Each structure stands twice: as structure tokens, then as C-alpha cells.
């Protein structure tokens, strides 16, 4: 894929962030999500590409989400798979808290995991821990392996995990061996990516969260030289049936990086909505808004941070805000 495609893609996440950002702190997560989705769809559909959403927020009858199977782009240009989360952290935005993102990943057709929107068990680590982790191994074994790979004591590790009741036992296991736990209220894409940046202070990410976010994180980490493993966790017979319809019969399958993101020609793009560990949030200054985005390209192994300045008047047709 052409590297200049990244500029079109960052315009998509910027527009979604600008739309969602207007809802920050207003207590209306659905409105924020719908605004981000509408803006993202509008910008996607002027890009010269033939895109298909292979993992996203839901099915066609659940619109206005960017649904699995939806066609995006003009229909011309490169044929690509799209993983998408128009607003990672809807509740974060509603509450005015940190680390909300708008994010997408694309790769050549057939190269991203095609799966329903459901829970996924995850483990993520930066370059130093590649080849050392195993999602099927006990938590303690993974902690010891990462500590050894990073030449640290287990007590010095920082493990990020979503603050959920389902993780209570895992959190206690981590603490029992002396490692530090960083509880995250939402936003495990950013947390997973953080394992590849020493400045984040995060050594390992564990726990379960959304499958779309898992694919997005894997696309970024592959380009950054990190490692990601996942296992889909259907909760109902309906979710199991959806998996079967997509050709998945082994519900206990471990998905490695090569299964989730094939090849090396993938883009990961994200824009901050609220201030976070990786990106600054949208700043509104009268009719001008400032955005902060990241573009990660697998083939070139490049990482770019972009600050954008936007005239809101010129974007009013795609920014559906109240």
C-alpha cells in the first residue's frame, strides 16, 4: 500500500476525534460514539480505496455502528481490510477522563483477523519480550519470563490490566508475586501499545477486553516489533454461532500475531480525544481545534506523531455534534 494513504487515514481519525471531543464531560457516551462514527464514515468514503470492515462494533442491523462487512471508500484503489473503533473509551469521554482515542487499522485484503465483536483474552508485550510470553501459561510464568527478558526483577514490573471484576483473581496473582498493577478504566489499545514504549512504564498487558481492540493493538505492536496473543471468548450460544458462520470451529484457538495480522504492510492510526499517556486530547480554541495523532506503518517500521490544526467551520458538515 502507498505510504501517502496514511494522510487520508489520519484525516479519518482526526474528524472522529473532533466530533467526539465536543461531548467530553457531558455524560452522553452514546452521542459521543455516534458523532465519532458518523464523522469517520463520512471521511472514509472519500478515500480512493475498496475497504471492508472485518472486525468492528457489530452487525449491519446495529447501525449507526461501522458494522462488520460494511464497505468503505470510493470502491476504487487498493482492496483493504479495516479494523475500527470509532471511539475507544465512550464512558471516558462522557466522564471527561483520560485516554480516549479514535482508531483504525488497515491492511491488504485478507490480512486482518475476521471475527465478531466479542470478548478476547489478551497478552501484549514490547520488543524485549517477543518469544517469551504464552497466553496459555500461568500468569506467574509470564511475569518471570518478561522480567528475565528485560533484565528486571519481577517486583519491578508494571502490568496493565482493565479494572474489571472478572480480573480480580488475576490482579491478586500479579500482586502476590510483588509486581505492580496499573489499573485502567478503559482503553486497552493504548495500554497494549504502551508496552512498546519504554517511556510508558508498562512492561506487560494482560486480561480480557474487546476483540476489535485486540486486532487494532496487534496491528500497532507488530509494526513496533512487539508481540500480541489472543483467544476469542464467546459468552453466548449466539456468539458461538456467529463464530461458526465466520468459519471458526475451534473456540479455544490461540491467535498469534501471524494469525491476527498477516504480512507486514499494515497501518495503525489513532487520534487522542482526551489527554492520555500516548496522545494529547483535542483542544478547542474558538473556531480552531488542535489534534494529536500517531501513525504506525508496518512495512517501513515508522512511527509518526502529527499535530493538526483544524478550522471547525470547514468541517461542520461531517461533525455531528449537539
Query: What are the strands of the beta sheet with 158-162, ordered from one edge?
Result: 180-184, 158-162, 204-210, 119-125, 227-233
For the chain, domains (ranges, CATH) are 3-110+265-311 (3.30.540.10), 119-260 (3.40.190.90)
This prediction has a pTM of 0.92
**Residue-level length of the chain:** 322
Cα–Cα distance for residue pair 62/5, rounded to 1 Å = 29
Is 188 known as a binding-site position?
no
Is 88 known as a binding-site position?
yes
DSSP per residue, 73-124:
S-S-S-EEEEEEEEEE-HHHHHHT-S--EEEEEEEETT-B----S-EEEEEE
Going by pLDDT thresholds of 50, 70 and 90, the confidence category of residue 45 is very high
| Coil, strand or helix at 182 | strand
Cα–Cα distance for residue pair 18/291, rounded to 1 Å = 8
Is 57 known as a binding-site position?
yes
- pLDDT for the residue numbered 322: 45
228-286: pLDDT as tens digits: 999 999 999 988 998 888 888 888 999 999 999 998 889 999 999 999 888 999 999 98
Cα–Cα distance for residue pair 171/304, rounded to 1 Å = 34
- pLDDT for the residue numbered 57: 73
Amino acid at each position: 500500500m502507498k505510504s501517502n494513504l496514511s494522510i487520508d487515514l489520519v484525516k479519518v481519525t482526526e474528524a472522529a476525534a473532533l466530533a467526539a471531543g465536543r461531548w467530553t464531560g457531558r455524560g452522553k457516551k452514546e452521542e459521543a460514539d455516534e458523532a465519532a462514527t458518523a464523522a469517520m464514515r463520512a471521511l472514509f468514503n472519500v478515500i480512493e480505496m475498496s475497504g471492508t470492515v472485518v472486525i468492528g462494533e457489530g452487525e449491519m442491523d446495529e447501525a449507526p455502528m461501522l458494522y462488520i462487512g460494511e464497505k468503505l471508500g470510493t470502491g476504487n484503489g487498493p482492496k483493504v481490510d479495516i479494523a475500527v473503533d470509532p471511539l475507544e473509551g465512550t464512558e471516558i469521554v462522557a466522564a471527561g477522563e483520560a485516554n480516549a482515542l479514535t482508531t483504525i487499522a488497515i491492511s491488504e485484503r485478507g490480512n486482518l483477523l475476521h471475527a465478531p465483536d466479542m470478548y478476547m483474552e489478551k497478552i501484549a508485550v514490547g520488543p524485549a519480550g517477543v518469544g517469551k510470553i504464552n497466553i496459555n501459561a500461568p500468569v506467574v510464568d509470564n511475569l518471570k519470563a518478561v522480567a528475565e527478558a528485560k533484565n528486571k526483577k519481577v517486583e519491578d514490573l508494571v502490568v496493565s490490566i482493565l479494572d474489571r471484576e472478572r480480573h480480580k483473581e488475576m490482579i491478586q496473582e500479579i500482586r502476590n508475586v510483588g509486581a505492580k498493577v496499573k489499573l485502567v478504566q478503559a482503553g486497552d489499545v493504548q495500554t497494549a501499545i504502551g508496552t512498546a514504549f519504554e517511556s510508558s512504564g508498562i512492561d506487560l498487558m494482560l486480561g480480557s477486553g474487546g476483540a476489535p481492540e485486540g486486532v487494532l493493538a496487534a496491528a500497532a505492536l507488530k509494526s513496533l516489533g512487539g508481540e500480541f496473543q489472543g483467544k476469542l471468548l464467546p459468552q453466548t450460544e449466539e456468539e458461538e454461532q456467529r463464530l461458526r458462520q465466520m468459519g471458526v470451529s475451534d473456540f479455544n484457538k490461540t491467535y498469534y500475531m501471524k494469525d491476527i495480522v498477516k504480512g507486514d504492510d499494515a497501518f495503525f492510526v489513532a487520534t487522542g480525544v482526551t489527554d492520555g499517556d500516548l496522545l494529547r486530547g483535542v483542544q478547542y480554541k474558538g473556531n480552531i481545534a488542535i489534534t494529536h495523532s500517531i501513525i504506525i506503518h508496518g512495512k517501513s517500521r515508522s512511527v509518526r506523531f502529527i499535530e493538526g490544526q483544524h478550522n471547525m467551520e470547514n468541517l461542520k458538515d461531517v461533525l455531528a455534534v449537539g
